[in-house]
Amino acid sequence: VFYGIKVVLAVVSGLAEYSLCKALAARYHHHVAKLYLVFSAFSSGMFVSASAFLPSSVAMVAMTYCAAGVLNDSRSMVIWGAVLGCTWGWIVAGLSFVPYALWVLWSSPMMLIKTFGAFFVALVSALGPLVVSDRLYYGSWKASLVNFLEYNVHGGGKSDLYGVEPATYYLRNGINQLQ
């Protein structure tokens, strides 16, 4: 089962890259798509992490689908990609989906209610299976995403388990990473 899941993840990642390549060819030129293929073929990061059963891998694939959705001018593809990337993938990656959310809102100001409706449908559809599986495996109605946020953001657990640092520590280290 484990290797089957890894194969499915690799296939979905390949389809995401194919959809981005196709969108680049349609939006710009087939030469741009060929350059993307060359760069993508030699980037070991996406190749290795595509099938690495990690939440950030799901978020990476969702981000690729969102980029293809922007190039195809497909708001629903961007909404579904962002919702699935945050719920089934890594909720912390939600920050990286903010530009896509702004694009959706900016590109369709007249369809604001329809956009929020599509977001709500995608969110309920994505959270449904997660809540049901949490119920089956944990024995009570839980939402692991809510527990994650409560523990890490709100401080509902033993936050000092891994060390507690002031905000300036994270600011200094974040700036250090940009050098």
89 contacts 59 by C-beta, under 8 angstroms: yes
Average pLDDT, the chain: 85
What per-residue confidence (pLDDT) applies to 162? 58
Which has more pLDDT, 76 or 167? 76
Query: Quick check: 174 pLDDT over 60?
Result: yes
Query: Quick one: average pLDDT of 130-136?
Result: 89
pLDDT tens per residue across span 66-124: 999 999 999 999 999 999 999 998 888 888 899 999 999 898 777 888 889 999 999 99
What per-residue confidence (pLDDT) applies to 176? 74
Q: Any idea of the CA torsion for 69, 84, 156, 134, to the nearest 10 degrees? A: 180
Cα angle: 86, vertex 33, 56; to 5 degrees: 20
Enter the pTM of the model. Answer: 0.80
Taken as a whole, the chain contains a residue count of 179
**Tokens representing residue 176 in the block:** 């250090």
Q: Which residue, among 148, 150, 151, 174, has the nearest Cα to 161 in the 3D structure? A: 151
Q: Which residue has the tokens 């060359």?
A: 38
What per-residue confidence (pLDDT) applies to 76? 92
Query: Quick check: 42 pLDDT over 90?
Result: no
Count of C-beta atoms within a 10 Å radius of residue 17:
21
What per-residue confidence (pLDDT) applies to 36? 92
Burial of residue 121 (number of CB atoms within 10 Å: 0-12, 13-18, 19+): middle
Tell me how far apart the alpha carbons of residues 63 and 84 are, in angstroms, rounded to a whole number.
10
pLDDT band with cut points at 50, 70 and 90 for residue 178: low
